[in-house]
């Protein structure tokens, strides 16, 4: 589940470390993060409390089809970052510099991308895959163009259309 990964990466912990803090097993953390098991809200609260944090729930507008499509692309980009972060982030930073010059009105969004790209890869990934409104907006000005090849993008779009 994204919440568990987000909680863990924001605390800069491994799955094993979070498991020890939350009095559970590493395999349970892995199952939550992979989506094969779903934690209850009470479990997420307990995990947060074990790290000295408080869970605050919020309601946001439903994601649009465009939001889902952008998220699907960013899941693919996240895998590229996980597999080989240095060239992916170098390319994104080059793109970011070009975007800043072309679109000065979006300077605050580009500044946020710049800060995100200085984070550890898993924390960056957690933020770019978040379902919240800020991450949705950030995905609309993504600096990750060119990381997916044309055939990869086409395959992703076919899969997306089939699923949505």
Q: How does pLDDT run across 74-132, given as a tens digit for each residue? A: 999 999 999 999 999 999 999 999 999 999 999 999 999 999 999 999 899 989 999 89
- 41 with 86, same domain? no
The pTM of the whole model exceeds 0.85: no
Q: How far apart are CA 92 and CA 142, in angstroms?
A: 8
- 113 with 157, same domain? yes
Q: Which two tokens mark 93?
A: 């930073």
| Average pLDDT along the chain | 92
pLDDT of residue 1: 46
Q: How far apart are CA 18 and CA 11, in angstroms?
A: 9
Phi-psi region of 12 (alpha: psi -120 to 50; beta: other; left: phi over 0): left
Range of the domain at 115: 65-163
Does position 23 have pLDDT exceeding 80, yes or no?
A: yes
Share of the chain above pLDDT 70, in %: 99
Q: What's the chain's Rg over C-alpha atoms?
A: 17
Helix (H, G, I), strand (E, B) or coil at 60: coil
DSSP string, 101-123: HH-GGGHHHHHHHHHHHTS-HHH
Q: How confident is the model at residue 56 (pLDDT cuts 50, 70, 90)?
A: confident
- Do the domain assignments include residue 104? yes
Q: How confident is the model at residue 59 (pLDDT cuts 50, 70, 90)?
A: confident
- 92 with 155, same domain? yes
């Amino acid at each position: 589940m994204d919440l568990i990964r987000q909680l863990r990466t924001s605390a800069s912990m491994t799955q094993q470390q979070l498991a020890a803090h939350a009095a559970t097993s590493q395999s349970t953390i892995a199952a939550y993060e992979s989506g094969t098991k779903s934690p209850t809200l009470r479990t997420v609260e307990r995990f947060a409390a074990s790290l000295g944090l408080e869970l605050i729930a919020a309601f946001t507008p439903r994601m649009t089809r465009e939001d889902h499509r952008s998220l699907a692309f960013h899941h693919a980009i996240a895998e590229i970052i996980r597999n080989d972060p240095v060239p992916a982030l170098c390319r994104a930073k080059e793109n970011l510099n070009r975007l800043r010059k072309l679109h000065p009105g979006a300077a605050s969004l580009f500044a946020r991308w710049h800060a995100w790209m200085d984070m550890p890869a898993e924390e960056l990934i957690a933020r770019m895959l978040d379902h919240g409104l800020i991450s949705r907006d950030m995905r609309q000005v993504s600096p990750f163009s060119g990381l997916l090849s044309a055939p990869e993008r086409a395959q992703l779009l076919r899969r997306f259309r089939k699923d949505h």
